[in-house]
Amino acid sequence: MNPKWFAGHLAYTISKYNMSMISYGLAAELKPYRIAANALWPKTTIATAAVNNLLGGEMLMKMSRTPEIIADSIWYLLQKSSADCTGNFFIDEELLAGEGITDLSKYAFVPGNTQFYPDLFVDK
């Protein structure tokens, strides 16, 4: 926990933390049934309507990755054994790197961009 994430946007921060706590609790509750619960967070902002309309507009969109990085990360996460992989908090690019995928250029919202804006709530 870091106070900087709470200052200025307490309600949003609480909702983000709650998502992770729910995943953590479900992992413990469902483990006997071999049902996994994990959380996935993006390392950078993702080019979504929320980023475009609420957070930063066109400038932030240009510094974001496409939603496909989340979809691909989820696909690899779902390939893991539910008995062995539960109760984790993953970062998309770290999860992909663990699968040997380090060239993330195809996920740039603006092709060729290498300067991405770090997602809120993820330390650099």
Catalytic residue among 12, 24, 33, 76: 12
Cα 79 to Cα 7, 31, 66, 85, 98, distances in angstroms: 37, 17, 22, 10, 13
Cα 117 to Cα 33, 52, 64, 113, distances in angstroms: 39, 13, 6, 11
Q: What residues contact 70, with CB distance under 8 A and at least 6 apart?
A: 40, 42, 46, 92
Q: Is 12 a catalytic residue?
A: yes
Q: What residues contact 107, with CB distance under 8 A and at least 6 apart?
A: 65, 66, 68, 69
Catalytic residues: 12
